[in-house]
A and B are shown apart, each in its own frame.
Chain A
Amino acid sequence: MRITWIWRILVTMTPTPGGWAAVAGGVVAGLLSSCGLQKDIDVELPAYPAQLVIEAYLENGRLPRVAVSESVPYLAEPQAQVPTDVTVVLTRPNGTRDTLRYAPGVNMNTDKAYTHSGRARLTARPGDVFQLEAYDTRGRRVTGSATMPALVPIDSIRWQFNNEPVERRQAYLTVKFQDPAGTTDYYRFQVHKRSIAHDSEVEYTLEDRLNNGQAITLGTSYEFKANDTLFVTLYHLDRPYYQFLQSVQDARNANGNPFAQPSAVRSTVTGGVGIFTVLSYQRQRVILK
């Protein structure tokens, strides 16, 4: 986490009570864990019917892949529940319906799993609308619709080293782009070191309501060293995807934070849980010299 959250406040201007609650909760949790004031307890949770969970990120020029799983009681065994009787149908902007084949696998480049895969690469342009339908033999049916956002290009990437001795010298990084005027836009900013197969070093989401139509500069704190290879990614999100990401973060924060209000996940699909969206992003590689 480092102090990225502070930069998030600095640049994205989206401090939330939940954010402060997270800070306060973090302090409390840290103190308590060090004081030995925690213990295991038995909790009996009421039954909650399993729901289909969809994860589908369509990309132009790539095979459509969808991961379908099931929600489970929170205290259930950790093994993932993958239903095998789900049919997934993708409807393209021209109305063509593709039934994706059930072929579970793992993308070795990204280390992400999927259960259903298409046979042909997608063509997706900004404004294109895709439909998704998933149903099983138990009568569960999940549907969703996704529109590809326009690409917002990165104008420039800069970095600045501090004045510390060489062995402790670090750089912050800034990314500049032009926000489209007249629309409310949402972004996801990520910086990876060396490869995108690993977790990002920096990540946050933002909206443009305070600087709509202006040039926006995002950044990190001092956390990169000389000669680091960085992958800088700027996603342009639609509102449902942004709200889904926010709600996932809020739901996670609520577990273990006495100050946070529990939050329901705002799925972009109906009839189940999950996300169906078309990715629109630009990624650049830089080496900090």
Chain B
Amino acid sequence: MTVRFLLISILVSVSILLPQSLRAQVRYTLSGVVRAAGGGGGTLPGATVAVPALGLGTTTADDGSYSLPLPAGRHKVVASFLGYQSQTREVNLTRDQRLPFQLTEAGNELGEVVIEGSGTLEQKLQTTQMSVERLSAREAKLLPALFGEVDILKTLQLKPGVQNGGEGTSGLFVRGGSADQNLVLLDDALVYNPSHLFGLFSVFNSDAVQSVDLYKGGFPAQYGGRLSSVVDVKLRPGNPEKFTTSGGIGLISSRLTLEGPIQKGKGAFLVSGRRTYFDVFTRQINRLNQDDPDYNPIPDYYFYDFNAKANYKLGSKDEVFLTGYLGNDVFGFNSQNGFNFDFNWGNTVASLRWNHVFNSRLFLNTSASLTKYRYQISNKLDQFGFNLSSDIRDLTLRSDLDYTPNDRHALRFGATATHHRFGTGRLQADSQDGSVNFGSDITYFGTEAGLYASDTYKPTDKLQVEYGLRLSGFRSGSDTYGGVEPRAAVRYSLTPNLSLKGSYALMYQYVHLVTNTGASLPTDIWYPSRQSVLPQRSQQVAGGVSWLLGDGRYLLTNEVYYKWAQRQIDFKDGAQLFVNPDLDAEFLFGKGWAYGDEVYLEKKQGRTTGWIGYTLAWTKRQFPAQRGTNGINNGNPFYPTYDRRHNLTVVLLHQVNQRINLTGSFVFTSGAATTLPLARFAFQDTPGSNSGVVPIYPERNTYRLAPYNRLDLGLVYKLKPIRRSGESDLTFSVYNAYNRRNPYFVYFDQVKDKATNTVTNYRARQVSLFPVIPSVTYNFKF
């Protein structure tokens, strides 16, 4: 450990000492906070503050603050943020100085085309950070959505390098990684299961979300714990100026958001809720049929979620932020003969962050957070009762220090510690007469820690390097694991409009999702590294070029990547994954690798904006013979289901006039890999048992479904675009506009002679999930 700390010390010392000799000019630090003006809300994390003439810029921290070292003299400083109008202010820098910005929304929230300052594209060109995608909720709201339910995670699937897990699902499969290898953060607190309804909808209510950053590679050192991506979701701060109510009424759910100042100039709050109403209709149908003895009632199902955020200034240098999330899916079934079945699952997230500004060069963020995911199944039949539950609960403390010693360096240090509780299986069965009475409680504990330091170093105007080191560790019972995770990224500007970039990152993952279904089921459980289950590990190298075209209106990027991972996890055929005290014996271990090329052209200015993305990619996994099995696919490499060779997305947004926006998105992907049985045999079974056919699956994922393509169209029509009393719009969406029957899965079926009920043939059937689905949503704000 001493050696590791020594490394950190050297890193930090070198970082601080180096620039002293490089100073050639008097420089001062410009700092401040970027906020939304008027109805827009509070601080704007991730906004760009830049001096285009010098090619210098930075982005605001989580609290909206920035710190930008500049040479003395007059400068035009541009602040910009997705969905807001850029603002340019002139400053004469003769000392360290503060310069706050208040950005005005690019039209009202309900539907103008997002205008993004050119500084953002320039910043994407200039930054060392590559392989990152940023989306605002505003952008997602304009695009057409399935059932009209705006889902920012699904919008991320339109970015290159990101695959979905199946038609309509919100899971992200990033550069060959699986969905459980994404670090999903909500205001810095982890979210374990970010989906409702088997993954069809994400848990993020677009009314409460401000933006999401997706890191596909080149991970900054402050992130750790997952292999493949970081999905960093930020909730929107409340309106600090006035009380506002907004919401929407859609096909399957409604939303309501309240926000306003806590104390003028001191803080603001936001509370947002959403609920579906399938159950309202199904209950009516059940009620109408309650006298029919042959009627099988439709189970109740709904989900809801609440988001809350508050910020409050304690003084000129201190501000606290409180974030909360509570979401649940509720499934209930009461049969007419007395059988009750309840199934609930959901996340609870809470975080409290304290931001302290020591001076214009030094910021501290300290947070404490709680996150919990749990499901519970309760059955009751007459005198018999049964309860099964599982949960994972984390308590996390985190501290991050941002220090900008001079204009050449921006340092970031931090430490994090998480206490995990894994309730992998709690079960209780009993009866009133005592004939059934047994249970089980399998709980593990673990402590995960991380310590990191990084430096963004700019030795010349053309060259910028971001390098860092993360030390991670995990302890569960008597098992202790550790990892050294170097991170590096570099940018070299060939010309003012052309940059070359490269990155490397090594990641460890100490907690593992236990599932062998390939789908996001609520019964998924998380398991710690312990005994034979070692931490997963991956490395990724990426290289790319960014080219600013058309006077800064277009940015063309091309990135190639190669990722390789060890100790990947899968499960034995027929693995018993529930309430199993010997769960680690069910795991299989292997390796994975992925590589590809991502081309991305985006336009953020003008009446017509959008992007075109194309990905050429390969993903493979291999699990050799082990633990008394032949491994998976007889130990040979195979493609996971989310492997797609080609992926093309085209997204266009066009502002027709002040009232109407048209949007469209087109997706084409190669067919998904899937497994089909190659053979069958007749199985009679014992006397009195069903006879039938049993499929034989000798290989994994060797069949490809037909290619997938889909066009979605959207129209936002503002009903009240200008009035002071409020705003409202109608958002129309058409999902799968040309009604293509895209393959969801293929299965084999018997063809029977109806007269004799004998099997005459076998056939392959392709199943599609969604036909053309039009929807309309009414949104309002006052």
A binds B: yes
Residues in A lying within 8 Å of B, measured CB to CB:
3, 6-7, 9-11, 13-18, 20-21, 24, 28-29, 32, 35, 37-43, 45-46, 48, 50-51, 53, 55, 57, 67, 69-78, 80, 107, 109-113, 160, 162, 164, 168, 170, 172, 174, 176, 190, 192, 196-200, 203, 209-211, 214-215, 217, 219, 221-222, 231, 233, 235, 243, 246-248, 250-252, 254-266, 273-274, 279
Q: Counting CB contacts under 8 A, is B478 at the interface?
A: no
Binds A, one of B36-44, B410-418, B671-679: B671-679
In contact, B573 and A43 (Cβ under 8 angstroms): no
Contacts of A80 in B (CB 8 A): 682
Q: Report B681-703 residues with CB < 8 Å from chain A CB.
A: 681-692, 694-698, 700, 702-703
Contacts of B573 in A (CB 8 A): 247, 250, 261, 263-264, 266
In contact, B684 and A55 (Cβ under 8 angstroms): yes
Given A37-B771, A41-B766, A75-B763, also A196-B688 (CB < 8 A)? yes
11 contacts between A and B (CB under 8 A): A15-B523, A15-B578, A35-B771, A39-B741, A48-B678, A74-B696, A74-B762, A222-B338, A222-B381, A256-B749, A258-B745
Contacts of A42 in B (CB 8 A): 764
Contacts of B438 in A (CB 8 A): 13, 210-211, 214
Task: Give the nearest-CB partner of A245 in chain B.
Answer: B685
In contact, A200 and B519 (Cβ under 8 angstroms): no
Q: Counting CB contacts under 8 A, is B198 at the interface?
A: yes
Contacts of A53 in B (CB 8 A): 681-682
Residues in B lying within 8 Å of A, measured CB to CB:
166, 198, 293, 335, 337-339, 341, 377, 379, 381-382, 384, 386, 388, 427, 429, 431, 435-436, 438-440, 515-519, 521-524, 571, 573-574, 576-580, 675-692, 694-698, 700, 702-703, 706, 741, 744-750, 759-769, 771
In contact, B762 and A41 (Cβ under 8 angstroms): no
In contact, A57 and B686 (Cβ under 8 angstroms): yes
Which listed residue (A6, A221, A252, A259) contacts B517, Cβ 8 A? A259
CB distance from A100 to the nearest CB of B (A): 17
In contact, A260 and B517 (Cβ under 8 angstroms): yes
In contact, B765 and A41 (Cβ under 8 angstroms): yes
Given A32-B767, A40-B763, A45-B676, also A210-B746 (CB < 8 A)? no
Contacts of A200 in B (CB 8 A): 688-690
CA distance in complex: A17, B698 (Å): 22
Given known contacts A17-B521, A222-B382, what 12 new A-B pairs fall within 8 Å (CB)?
Answer: A40-B765, A43-B764, A51-B679, A74-B696, A74-B762, A174-B435, A203-B689, A252-B694, A254-B677, A259-B518, A261-B517, A261-B573
CA distance in complex: A48, B680 (Å): 10
In contact, B386 and A10 (Cβ under 8 angstroms): yes
Contacts of A45 in B (CB 8 A): 676, 678
In contact, A78 and B764 (Cβ under 8 angstroms): no
In contact, B694 and A162 (Cβ under 8 angstroms): no
CA distance in complex: A203, B611 (Å): 56
In contact, A72 and B517 (Cβ under 8 angstroms): no
Contacts of B386 in A (CB 8 A): 9-11, 13
Given A20-B523, A39-B741, also A113-B684 (CB < 8 A)? yes
In contact, A78 and B762 (Cβ under 8 angstroms): yes
Contacts of A110 in B (CB 8 A): 687-688
CB distance from B695 to the nearest CB of A (A): 5
Which listed residue (B341, B377, B436, B685) contacts A11, Cβ 8 A? B436
In contact, A266 and B574 (Cβ under 8 angstroms): yes
Contacts of B771 in A (CB 8 A): 35, 37
CA distance in complex: A219, B384 (Å): 10
Contacts of A72 in B (CB 8 A): 679-681
Given A10-B386, A74-B695, also A256-B429 (CB < 8 A)? no
Task: Give the nearest-CB partner of A246 in chain B.
Answer: B574
CB distance from B23 to the nearest CB of A (A): 60
Given A162-B382, A255-B748, A265-B694, also A37-B680 (CB < 8 A)? no
Task: Give the nearest-CB partner of B301 in chain A.
Answer: A27
Contacts of B579 in A (CB 8 A): 13, 210
In contact, B694 and A248 (Cβ under 8 angstroms): yes
CB distance from B668 to the nearest CB of A (A): 19
Contacts of B689 in A (CB 8 A): 190, 199-200, 203
CA distance in complex: A13, B388 (Å): 9
